A = this chain, B = another copy of it.
Amino acid sequence: MIRRPIVAVIGNAKATPAQCALAEELGRLLVEHGCRVLTGGLGGVMEAASRGARRASNRSDGDVIGILPGDDAAFANEFVDIAIPSGMGFARNVLIVRTAAAVIAVGGGAGTLSEIAHAWQADRIIVVLPAEGISGEFGGRALDDRPRPPILKALSARSAVELVIESLGARHSG
């Protein structure tokens, strides 16, 4: 693929400091590994991942994308370079999943769960991290009998990003 891969970091708009720290590190490492970072463009985990991406040593303008539920780009957090105000409410979760080659979940609730489910439907790479919230429950399991590798589980931001990079490589050479 000539285009840089886009990786989504998903999780709650209301996040704990631990979740935010994890998301920020994910954002930074993803950009440092050559990926763009995609989120839902709002606060909490989304903002932390966007902020982290901005702080990557090799960061360039255009690395941080937010696909928003509302129709006003002004609601994107300040670290988003490219705001896509979908105006579709939580149907924007589907757009996030379709746009991402991989999704990494940090905690989260029903919205994050919907994204994991859609990512499974769309055959995206899925990695979950141990964090307060529902997504962690799904590490290592399959959602149905579609021929997919199970949802991946990482214990740190670094290993999550490495898993994504490795899986992307395997898919493109596969």
Taking Cβ atoms with an 8 Å cutoff, the residues of A that contact B are 2-4, 6, 12, 36, 60-63, 65, 67, 71, 73, 76, 78, 80-91, 93-95, 98-99, 108-111, 113-114, 117-118, 120-122, 133-134, 143-146
Contact = CB atoms under 8 A, between A and B. Distances in A.
Nearest to A143: B110
Contacts of A144: 12, 108-110, 133-134
B90 A94 contact: yes
B91 A122 contact: no
B82 A62 contact: yes
A11 B85 CA distance: 22
A86 B82 contact: no
**Interface residues of A, dominant DSSP:** mixed
Contacts of A121: 90, 110-111, 114
A32 to B, nearest CB: 15
Contacts of A78: 2
Given A71-B122, A114-B117, A134-B144, A82 B109 contact: no
